């Protein structure tokens, strides 16, 4: 039996992001990072660059455009409601639409009911998902008010139990995308990432802000680095404010993350993955 309680520290202790800094490994012009193949569970990606699941943007046409321009290792769908998938609503089916050219594909599910999420994950695999991603980072009210997205950060123990349920439900890799915590006074990402690894989560994507920040302020690269240091054998993918190849290299160099997920930075520049990959290689 897997112990799904927090195995390091206690409920009153949190990492102090203010006190810890990360020293860049290069100075001046950023050096090219060492290119490492990114493997998520049983899935080998051709690059370490991923398209984020962003509501109202990441439809099939946009994903195919990014793939054709080059450099993209994994694309993710828009946020998917497992209830919508299971009911066969037109909106959900449209968001989950994929084809042979749209591989490998991650399908991201949101919600707070472990049984429904597990059923939704099985549906997604049956309909072409290469990877299942659990949304633990969306700060939008309509998601958090349904106990999904970053609301899951408020109850880490139950979130780990839920993740374990989904991992057992499917045979493809299951990943999680999260934020640092609900607020600067409730940072949970490092310990949560460690415990998610313990129940079989195959990779962690970490957005370097809290829920309360939404998209304000700067991404905390030191916070991402702490998540990198918290896990043992799974890749951590950095996310947030990557709008240029230089931003991508800086995130890898300053956090040690294995890959970078780009969302808003790709909307006006869908070729950003090609350019980021070229700068690495």
pLDDT tens, residue by residue, 94-137: 999 999 999 999 999 999 999 999 999 999 999 999 999 999 99
Question: Which one-letter DSSP state was computed for residue 28?
Answer: S
Confidence class of residue 281 from pLDDT cuts 50, 70 and 90?
Answer: confident
Q: Is the pTM of this model over 0.75?
A: yes
Chosen CATH of 47-280 out of 3.20.20.70, 3.30.70.1520, 3.40.50.300, 1.20.1370.20: 3.20.20.70
* Token representation of residue 92: 């959900």
pLDDT of residue 36: 62
pLDDT of residue 2: 37
| CB contact at 8 A, 147 and 114 | no
Told to judge if 138 belongs to the known catalytic residues of this protein, a careful annotator would answer: yes
- In 172-231, where does DSSP find H-type helix? 189-198, 221-230
Query: Between residues 234 and 279, which one has the greater pLDDT?
Result: 234
Q: For residue range 208-261, list pLDDT tens digits in order.
A: 999 999 889 899 999 999 999 999 999 999 999 999 999 999 999 999 999 999
Q: Which of 58, 66, 76, 138 is catalytic?
A: 138
Output the average pLDDT for the chain. 89
User: At residue 30, does pLDDT exceed 70?
Assistant: no
């Amino acid at each position: 039996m897997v112990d799904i309680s927090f195995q390091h520290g206690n409920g009153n202790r949190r990492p102090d992001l203010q006190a810890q800094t990360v020293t860049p490994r290069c100075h001046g012009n950023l050096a090219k990072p060492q290119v490492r193949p990114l493997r998520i569970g049983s899935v080998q990606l051709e690059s370490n660059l991923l398209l984020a699941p962003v509501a109202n943007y990441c439809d099939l046409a946009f994903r195919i455009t990014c793939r054709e321009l080059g450099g993209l290792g994994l694309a993710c769908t828009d946020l998917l409601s497992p209830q919508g998938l299971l009911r066969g609503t037109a909106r959900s089916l449209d968001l989950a639409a994929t084809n042979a050219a749209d591989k490998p594909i991650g399908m991201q599910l949101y919600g707070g009911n472990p049984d429904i999420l597990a059923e939704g994950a099985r549906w997604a695999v049956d309909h072409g998902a290469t990877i299942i991603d659990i949304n633990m980072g969306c700060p939008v009210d309509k998601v958090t008010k349904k106990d999904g997205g970053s609301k899951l950060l408020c109850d880490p123990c139950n979130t780990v139990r839920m993740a374990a349920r989904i991992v057992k439900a499917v045979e493809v890799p299951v990943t999680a995308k999260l934020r640092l915590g609900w607020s600067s006074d409730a940072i949970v990402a490092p310990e949560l990432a460690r415990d998610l690894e313990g129940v079989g989560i195959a990779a962690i994507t970490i957005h370097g802000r809290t829920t309360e920040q939404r998209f304000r302020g700067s991404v905390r690269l030191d916070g991402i680095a702490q998540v990198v240091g918290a896990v043992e054998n799974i890749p951590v993918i950095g996310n947030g404010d990557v709008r240029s190849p230089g931003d991508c290299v800086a995130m890898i160099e300053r956090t040690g993350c294995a890959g970078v997920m780009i969302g808003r930075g790709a909307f006006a520049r869908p070729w950003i993955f090609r350019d980021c990959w070229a700068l690495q290689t």
